[in-house]
Structure 1
Amino acid sequence: MSETLAQSGTAYEPTERTVPSRNRSRASYDRDLVHSILDEAYVCHLGFVRDGAPIVLPTLYGRVGERLYVHGSTGSRPARMADPGLPVCLTVTHVDGLVLARSAFHHSINYRSVVVHGTAHQVTDPDELREALDALVDQVVPGRSYDSRPANAKELAATAVLRLDLAEVSAKVRTGGPNDEPQDLDLPHWSGVVPVATRYGTPIPAETLAADVALPDYMTVL
């Protein structure tokens, strides 16, 4: 990637930690691509070190501009370690296809992923905390934060949100079919791609839901 792209603001600046050691052609620092991968998901894996040992936790997140908000509880390990700042590595991955080659060695997957390095801080400002919680809800179901009761004081006191700026970021993408060796092309083994996609089922109303409460319009786009 040229320095011009990074300087123009359309891409993140590569760093030693965001340049892969293998398959560099699959890496991208394009800002729009990173945002699109992040916006399509809502579960991330948050990695950090505690007492000299690595820990990786799955959790929810939401994006607001160039910032990620990561959900937790006030008693969670990341929240307790976030003052004055917690070095973290956050990852998000989509699996788009199973790539089946004629040889076992060349089996692979088609995927889109984002890796974010940085220092996470706990959100303490009340207004930012409410914005962050809305972002977390809307990341899962866009528009839902306006159609649910906001957190009350007791719930806010039990909820921790970490803030992680998007600065040291990279995306990595694999597309296409299997990379079969020329000498394997005549082998009698099926070769190709099995597409993988997320599918949402029909919403099931709560047993306590009043009969006159209709399914919200924003739910029909899931």
Structure 2
Amino acid sequence: MSTFLVESKNRIKRQPNRGHYDKATIYQIIDEAMICHVAFVQDGQPFVIPALHARKDDQLLIHGASTSRLLNHIQAGNVVSITITIVDGIVLAKTVFNQSVNYRSVVLFGKGRLIENEDEKWQSLAHLTEQLMPGVWQTARQPTTTELKATSLVSISIESASAKIRSGPPKDSGEDQMLPVWAGVLPVKQIIQTPSTADYTDPDMPIPDYVMAYMAEKNKDDAGSLPEPK
């Protein structure tokens, strides 16, 4: 299906007009964001853990140390809830009550499994790495057998999800619109700044083409922020 079933756990209850249940919208937000937050309950204690993620079809990939409490919880087949948020603007109104932000957010639910097959684990790690920085998997040294054993990778089935989006100007109304206070939107965008070369790397080594391509894509509306290639 191209749309998630609307049920009690994923239904947008407050301002439902901002809700979206189609996979195209939800997956676009997941793919654009760099970080997700995974919520789970263990022995009656709630936890929320930030993690890098990558989507592969209807699965969300997360990796970490083999001793990770989060990954051990997921691989046991327990349900988790995951949130993702992108801030697009600071909304300044003429009244304190109407201050807000423009945002795109996703809440999803699903169960996961440990990826144990060696080929699948290798391919999934490559996918996760390429999601973070396209081109680096084939350039950097790839994982050793020891490193692979120390790393767990889980695949979480996206069983239920919804997105909530706010966009547009502030919502002052009536006489408040006449107040002598500035109102408007400050657009917010994540950009990539000038790379800082590690001190153990030849300072004359040029920035890799894949890094420059990534920066050009992320900063395409902010050309002045691109560094000069060496």
TM-score of the superposed pair, with normalisation by structure 1: 0.90
5+ residue gaps, structure 2: 216-230
* Secondary structure of residue in 1 paired with 2:126: helix
Displacement of 1:116 in angstroms is 1.0
Displacement of 1:130 in angstroms is 1.3
Does 2:93 align with 1:108?
A: no
5+ residue gaps, structure 1: 1-8
Aligned to 1:63: 55
Counterparts in 2 of 1:135-214, with a 5 A limit? Answer: 135-210=127-202, 213-214=205-206
Select 2:17's aligned residue among 15, 25, 31: 25
CA distance in 1, matches of 2:71, 2:22: 30
Amino acid at match of 1:203: P
CA distance in 1, matches of 2:65, 2:116: 13
* Secondary structure of residue in 2 paired with 1:21: coil
Question: Which of structures 1 and 2 has the larger relative contact order (alpha carbons within 8 angstroms, sep 6+)?
Answer: 1
Does 2:205 align with 1:216?
A: no
CA distance in 2, matches of 1:20, 1:137: 33
* Secondary structure of residue in 1 paired with 2:138: helix
Aligned pair count? 214
CA distance in 1, matches of 2:159, 2:208: 36
- Runs of 4 or more consecutive aligned structure 1 residues displaced over 3 Å after TM superposition: 210-214
Aligned to 2:36: 44
TM-score of the superposed pair, with normalisation by structure 2: 0.87
Displacement of 1:165 in angstroms is 1.4
Aligned to 1:122: 114
CA distance in 1, matches of 2:20, 2:62: 23
1:127-152 CA-partner distances (Å, limit 9, x unpaired):
12112211221121122222222211
Residues 78 and 86 of structure 1 are in contact (CA less than 8 Å); yes or no, is this contact kept in structure 2? Answer: no
Does 2:22 align with 1:14?
A: no
Amino acid at match of 1:44: C
Residues 43 and 60 of structure 1 are in contact (CA less than 8 Å); yes or no, is this contact kept in structure 2? Answer: yes
CA distance in 1, matches of 2:47, 2:13: 23
Displacement of 1:74 in angstroms is 1.0
Displacement of 1:126 in angstroms is 1.4
CA distance in 2, matches of 1:35, 1:216: 29
Aligned to 1:75: 67
1:1-42 CA-partner distances (Å, limit 9, x unpaired):
xxxxxxxx3322222211111011111112121121111122
Aligned to 1:6: none
CA distance in 2, matches of 1:141, 1:20: 33
Say if 1:136 and 1:83 are closer, same or farther in 2 by CA, change over 3 A: closer
CA distance in 2, matches of 1:30, 1:171: 8
CA distance in 2, matches of 1:136, 1:83: 18
1:157-194 CA-partner distances (Å, limit 9, x unpaired):
11112211123111111100111121201111111111
Residues 197 and 203 of structure 2 are in contact (CA less than 8 Å); yes or no, is this contact kept in structure 1? Answer: no
CA distance in 2, matches of 1:138, 1:39: 12
